Structure 1
Amino acid sequence: AFLLSLGLIVDDAIIVIENIHRHMHLEKAKEQDYDELIIEATDEIGPSTNIATIAIMLTMIPMAFVGGMMGQFMKPIPLNVPVGLAVSLFVAYVFAPFLARKLIKNIHADPGDACSVEMVPRISLLRRIMRPLVRLTERIAEGVHKIKKSSASWKR
């Protein structure tokens, strides 16, 4: 149930954040208060996000009626996925706008400007964290490639 819902859980928050970001780039955002912009962006996608999440929750109901050994195996899915999705929807509407307000600064740049949302300090911190992890992954991939190459050339 966790692996199934892992991708679904982040969807609602991503939709809210992306719509807030889109509203920042609209022409009317220049004269609009930032708090009002966030509320309007969240309200705009509310009904469709609610319906989509409820539809996914309802698709889990038939799994509750599966019997036998497979039913015992699948029993947590129709119980846990809807709860996780409901919590996800709550987080998307309560915490995502709050975090967008705190972490994303609206500087009212041109709509076509890719860097109009000022997050440069956070991006540089992310780079410092990710750079060693990427290098480690590259070294592991090189090692696996060498092992595959040597095993392919090995003769019996």
Structure 2
Amino acid sequence: MKFFWQKNKVAEVKSQQSSQPATSPAQAYVATKGKPSGIVATENIADYTYDVVGESFQHDHLVQLVQKHKAIDDGSVFTSATLKLEPENVFDPTAVMVIVEGLQVGYIAKSQSTDLTAAIKKLKTTELEVPAHLGWDTDNPQPYIGVKLMLGDLYPMN
């Protein structure tokens, strides 16, 4: 099965052979090394309970991450995410951006960002590393790529 992001492989190979790239790479966010959260990552998908929001706006970044990890057929990538406070955000001064390997993949929901911002500030940092899981349906040629986080005691889920 070919996924929608595999269709332009020939164009990418040709562009790599020429001097002009076919597409420009996504701009990586400059993030300092986030403070470790102390949450121990697992490869049990059920442990990743917090759903990141806004991934559909960052779909190109998520596709790049899936391709980078060569996990197209796996349907799963375990990695880490940086939670970065974004006080200059005009829509929500308590916004928390979610960054995976230098690429923005979404946000913490606005309804929960105030509490999570307070928890991160309590640790005397503005960036925090937490375990993350990227997942998608391998049977769908145009899958939605979702991001879930393991937040542990940082933000207990009921």
Pairwise same-fold verdict (TM > 0.5): no
- Give the TM-score taking structure 1 as reference length: 0.22
Look at both structures and tell me which one has the larger radius of gyration over its CA atoms: 1
Length-normalised TM-score, structure 2: 0.22
The structure with more strand, counted as a fraction of residues: 2
Which structure dedicates a bigger proportion of its chain to helix?
Answer: 1
